[in-house]
Amino acid sequence: MPERTLQDWLQHWLSQHPHEIEMGLERVRRVWARLSAPQTAPLVFSVAGTNGKGSTVAYLDAILRAAGYRVGRYSSPHLLRYSERIVVDGVEVSEQQLCAAFTAIERARGETRLTYFEAGTLAALLIFAESRVDVAVLEVGLGGRLDAVNLIDADVAIITSIGLDHQEYLGDTLAQIAVEKAGIARAGRPVVVAALDVPAALPEALARIGSQQVQAGRDYRFEGVQGDTRWRLHMRDRCLDLPLPALVAPIQMQNAAAAIVALLQIEALRIDEAAIVQGLQRVQLAARLQRIGSEPEVVLDVAHNPQAAVALRAWLDRDQVPTRAVFGVLADKDALAIALQLAPRISHWHLCGLQALSPRGAPVAALAATLRAGLPTASMSLHERPRTALAAARASALPGERILALGSFFLAAEVLSECAA
């Protein structure tokens, strides 16, 4: 029988478990033990939150590598290639490494049925152990307490934000979601809380765990200076004057600050100001206000919930550029709440369906009905999928207009592919 390709393995894991998402740590713990539970890395950072996880992980990785450390970075979802999820020392892992890891996991799992995400998480942890990374930086997939990433005890945890998303798994209130996110913290170890406006349930849950809380606004603060060309990070024992991060949204100061403060919690890490500056300037992350076209300008962002839309609106408010939106969402997202945040800055909505890209994708007719109910005077047109919406937006854009594509990782992937073609 021929060896399985990476695509074969991914299809195997998609079909292996009856549910796409099944919360809980029992399955991954059992299989990890059968893999002899190797040390993932001498030092582990875990990042949870409703928004800002990917950016914070990118800052941690960039600064650590600038300081000379070998870093394993695990994030999800991917955009164009599965290997984007697992990066060692700045390089995506090979298909051969992934296939070897999946083969080992398949042999170890016995009768245990793993989800796609659980198998991928175990593969990342195994590859990091085999690659002998100095530091592992792990992005939580969903929630925190019962997410597969929480198999590993983080030396430092970061909670970037608390917002309403994935309520069917995490709870219907901010308080319930906060408790789930708090689950990545460990007793006696630091946890950095990046957002200023978190529900009281979060510090309460962290106190019950017994973690060392480091709270934005209390233990550190940040501010833009010099006409917003630089920013300052104030901590209890020092102040850093820094260049703005290469990721351009205003919210990125919050994410960068959390990453820097988290790194400085570990005294054994040799993180000097030069490494911080270099990391901020070199950090890269696709589909976070990424400019992917000109004449007209095309900007891509994965904002897919109301909290992310608030941050995106703050960026739009910095200039007066007329903006068209290419917009599509998964069916479980609050499309109207997202649109209401952005509507004052959007001249026309090029709506698109995502059902061709995901079983969870919202059809364009349903999306249009939702937006018309809440924005009855908005200008909008309907398109089959993101690439046709983008083509229409480009064809109809007036001189000086910008196109903003947003709403889903699935939309971002197709737009990126279209612009790269």
Quick check: bond before 322 cis, omega within 30? no
Q: Which has the closest alpha carbon to 158: 197, 135, 185, 176?
A: 185
Q: Report d(CA 241, CA 229) in Å as an integer.
A: 11
Q: Are residues 93 and 10 in the same domain?
A: yes
Q: Quick check: 410 and 354 in contact, CB under 8 A? A: yes
Report the greatest alpha carbon distance in the chain: 65
Q: Are residues 186 and 317 in the same domain?
A: no
Q: Which has the closest alpha carbon to 290: 249, 345, 350?
A: 249
Domain that holds residue 81: 6-282
Q: Quick check: 300 and 415 in contact, CB under 8 A? A: yes
| Helix, strand, or coil (residue 87) | strand
């690439």: which residue's tokens? 387
Within-domain flag for 209: yes
């000379």: which residue's tokens? 68
Q: Are residues 303 and 256 in the same domain?
A: no
Within-domain flag for 91: yes
Q: Report d(CA 34, CA 52) in Å as an integer.
A: 34
Q: Are residues 227 and 109 in the same domain?
A: yes
Within-domain flag for 1: no
Q: Is the pTM of this model over 0.85?
A: yes
β pairing state of 86-88 and 71-74: antiparallel
Q: Are residues 156 and 303 in the same domain?
A: no
Q: Quick check: 264 and 235 in contact, CB under 8 A? A: yes
* CATH number (domain holding residue 203): 3.40.1190.10
In 324-363, where does DSSP find H-type helix? 335-342
How many CB atoms lie under 10 A from the CB of residue 70?
16
Q: Quick check: 60 and 275 in contact, CB under 8 A? A: no
Q: Report d(CA 337, CA 335) in Å as an integer.
A: 6
Q: Are residues 217 and 296 in the same domain?
A: no
The pair phi, psi for residue 72, each rounded to 5°, is -105, 125
* Tens digit of each residue's pLDDT, the chain (421 residues): 468 999 999 999 999 876 667 788 999 999 999 999 999 999 999 999 999 999 999 999 999 999 999 999 999 999 999 999 999 999 999 999 999 999 999 999 999 999 999 999 999 999 999 999 999 999 999 888 999 999 999 999 999 999 877 677 677 898 999 999 999 999 999 999 999 989 999 999 999 999 999 999 999 999 988 667 899 999 998 999 999 999 999 999 999 999 999 999 999 999 999 999 999 999 999 999 999 988 899 999 999 999 999 999 999 998 889 999 999 999 999 999 999 999 999 999 999 999 999 999 999 999 999 999 999 999 999 999 999 999 999 999 999 999 999 999 999 999 999 876 6
